[in-house]
Structure 1
Amino acid sequence: MNDLVEPKAVEITYETDEPILYEVVDGVAWITMNRPGFNNAQNGQMTYALDDAFQRATNDDAVKCIVLAGNGKHFSAGHDIGTPGRDLHHEFDKRLMFGTHTNKPAAELLYTREQEQYLGMCRRWRDVPKPTIAMVQGACIAGGLMLAWVCDLIVASEDAFFQDPVNPLMGIPGVEYFAHAYELPPRVAKEFLLLGERMNAARAYSFGMVNKVVPREELHEATNAWATKLAGQNRLGNWLTKQSVNHVEELRGKRSAMDAVFHMHHFAHAQNDLVKGDSIAGVSGKSAADSNKKAAAE
């Protein structure tokens, strides 16, 4: 499929009507990605369901902390580039002010869609006025990084790994929510992006990208302990503290950097389309997974 041409009628088959599970326990909202058969690959259906869940938790005064989790073996394998539920050309009710994408030609289609569904949504969730924790197990790849990075804290299992392989695979400089050089030291961020190799949880912890690493069987307990503690603290204090650190990141140019790289990202999409006839260089979910497994074995 060529993502940057006029939209075509594409059959979409959703394997579930509940791509997100939602539960509140003792003041903690548990938002769980629920596409375990596809390693929680993020399609539009899931993205908008995530937004609904974050909005629901924000509106509920009984919720004092939010945990983002992934059902199954992996937290998230990233954006959906090859499941039957890939809904690139499906229109959803917009949450931000970017307009319809499905009627746009060529590169404008992806540029419009990703302003909302990727960059815009992640910024929206980062600003939720309640503390958020990502509970990460297994793979946290590309688009999965974006979901973990918008959370205030990250608790990971010992078998978790983090990866952004889109440069080696597609010639694209990282995922749309470009926080790499804020989550990692610059030279390490370059390694992470240029080589696209897996970073294990212990190494991610050494750079401060992860707050705590525990055995997988202790992951839920450890995450819940922090969430429960945060839920018992002063609500306004938590919000102001979160805003304080976010503000420092903005003073360091985080938003401006993301805006600049977003345009580079879409220039690379357009280049792929012109040179290879496909905006993601012909990479499929299967070919990406096979490449990742091969690299991990070497």
Structure 2
Amino acid sequence: MPDGSSGVSLPVLLREDRDAVTTLTLNRPAARNGLSLALLDALRAELERIAADNAIRCVVIRAEGPVFCAGHDLKEITAHFGDADGGHAFFADSMARCARVMQAIPALPQPVIAAVQGMATAAGCQLAAACDLVIAAEEARFCTPGVEIGLFCSTPAVPLARAVPRKAAMEMLLTGEPIGAEEARRIGLVNRVVPRAALDGEAAALAARIAGRSALAVQLGKRTFHRQAGLPLEEAYAAATAAMVENLLAEDAAEGIGAFLAKRAPEWKHR
């Protein structure tokens, strides 16, 4: 696929499978890993493959170069201002493709970890916020600067407002000012902050730890967590109670409880 910046044919997304962990690497460093249509389509295709692969139990999303992701590819967007419809069809298609990717991440059975090494801007911040967990390098920055160019970050606001307190999200959206990794951790956007040299190792270690759990329990738990979060309290408890009963009936629950009582390591069947 063309990388959209130099005309050279390069894969815009790299995939590496190691044990039960898949690492997806945004690979448009010369374009600040902007979310071109090609990159969005590649992400969606890989997420669909991963969702259907029971051997994969955790996913890491990382990026090449100094920038994690600068958001939508503004050069690609600008090229359509002169369309007969003013760019309406292209803009609608681009935003819809992006929304499908961002929704596919929480819907993915496997947990997803973002490893953010640099700036995550606009839809790049959206991508990080959509992930289940975020590990950031000390120099990482997060911002939703659309307001500075007359384009409010309405779609990045969706996962951002679900990841951090409302007023913290609104301050980021209204000012467009970047926040550092430690501030992002303080407000709940980031789980851990580590030195840059330790970032990939920390993400891999966390992914391996998650992958070592019962896949059935983790996947059921992720699905239930996202479902109950949008429900009123009584309905949330009903959904969570049903999930607990379903989980208790699984082979892995009997194995895990038995192993705990016997003080031995469990042997997961992932069912």
Q: How does 1:227-266 map to 2 (within 5 A)?
A: 227-251=207-231
Provide the secondary structure at the position in 2 that maps to 1:219: helix
Unpaired stretches in structure 2, ≥5 consecutive residues? 233-271
1:112 offset after TM fit, Å?
3.1
Aligned to 1:46: 39
Q: How does 1:134-213 map to 2 (within 5 A)?
A: 134-176=114-156, 178-213=158-193
The answer (yes or no) to whether the contact 1:44–1:88 under 8 Å persists in 2 is no
> After superposition, what is the alpha-carbon deviation per residue over 1:115-167, rounded to whole angstroms, capped at 9, x for unaligned?
52122221122200111100101100001012112211101100000000001
Aligned to 1:214: 194
Q: Percent identity?
A: 30
> After superposition, what is the alpha-carbon deviation per residue over 1:240-269, rounded to whole angstroms, capped at 9, x for unaligned?
1111221133227xxxxxxxxxxxxxxxxx
Aligned to 1:28: 21
Moved over 6 A (4+): 87-90
Aligned to 1:129: 109
Aligned-partner Cα distance in 2 for 1:20–1:234: 29
Aligned-partner Cα distance in 2 for 1:190–1:89: 30
TM-score (structure 1 length as normaliser): 0.70
Q: Call closer, same or farther: CA 1:203–1:177 in 2, change over 3 Å.
A: closer
* Counterpart check, 1:72 vs 2:65: yes
Aligned to 2:263: none
Q: Which has the higher contact order (CA 8 A, sep 6+)?
A: 1
2:56 to 59, 63, 68: 63
- Larger deviation, residues 177-186 vs 145-154: 177-186
Aligned-partner Cα distance in 2 for 1:224–1:113: 34
Aligned-partner Cα distance in 2 for 1:104–1:130: 42
Aligned-partner Cα distance in 1 for 2:193–2:30: 25
- Larger deviation, residues 48-57 vs 38-47: 48-57
Aligned-partner Cα distance in 1 for 2:161–2:5: 36
The answer (yes or no) to whether the contact 1:164–1:174 under 8 Å persists in 2 is no
Give the counterpart letter for 2:61 in structure 1. L
Provide the secondary structure at the position in 1 that maps to 2:54: coil
* Counterpart check, 1:224 vs 2:204: yes
Provide the secondary structure at the position in 2 that maps to 1:72: coil
Aligned-partner Cα distance in 2 for 1:143–1:33: 13
Aligned-partner Cα distance in 1 for 2:222–2:13: 25
Aligned-partner Cα distance in 1 for 2:226–2:216: 15
CA RMSD of aligned residues (A): 2.4
Give the counterpart letter for 2:147 in structure 1. N
Unpaired stretches in structure 1, ≥5 consecutive residues? 1-10, 91-102, 253-298
TM-score (structure 2 length as normaliser): 0.77
> After superposition, what is the alpha-carbon deviation per residue over 1:156-179, rounded to whole angstroms, capped at 9, x for unaligned?
100000000001221424335622
1:74 offset after TM fit, Å?
1.5
Give the counterpart letter for 2:199 in structure 1. L
Aligned-partner Cα distance in 2 for 1:216–1:200: 14
Number of corresponding residues: 227
- Give the number of the structure whose residues are more often helix, by fraction: 2
